[in-house]
Amino acid sequence: MRALFADDDPNLHTIVKLWLEKNGHDVECVLNGQLAFERLQQESFDLLISDVNMPAMNGIELVKAVIELPKPPALIIVLTSRCDLVELQKKANSTKIHMFSKPFSPSALAELIDKLSLEIV
């Protein structure tokens, strides 16, 4: 899968990119929601992974904008350290959006992506 990872922590970029590429995915990383939205307008991605708390455009705003695109990613995963995942899911208002708690194990994220990618094939 071609993945776009949006998070304002460059150290997390390195870790997530390493794990997902190890599992055969092509990963591009950006530092905020606005940059992610611009990339998604320019190119097609199969997967968007986004943190909630980011500068320029937060993850919920990003997801709401992305699902309105003509060709949104088939899979969207939102990472959050907030404990109100159900409320975030309601705000995102889409069944193809999956919430994943931070801190997280990169291997668990890779496993989730592999599992969910089987559902969209």
77-120 residue pLDDT tens:
998 876 555 555 565 555 578 888 888 888 899 999 989 888 77
Query: CATH number, domain at 29?
Result: 3.40.50.2300
Q: How many domains does the chain have?
A: 1
Q: Give the model's pLDDT for residue 88.
A: 55
Work out the average pLDDT over 25-45.
Answer: 97
Q: Apex CA 78: angle with CA 73 and CA 79, to 5°?
A: 145
4 — phi, psi (to 5°)?
A: -115, 125
Alpha carbons 36 and 7: distance in angstroms, whole number? 9
Give pLDDT tens digits for 45-57. Answer: 999 999 999 999 9
How high does pLDDT run on average in the chain?
Answer: 87
Q: What range does the domain containing 11 cover?
A: 2-120
Most confident of 2-6, 58-62, 72-76, 111-115: 2-6
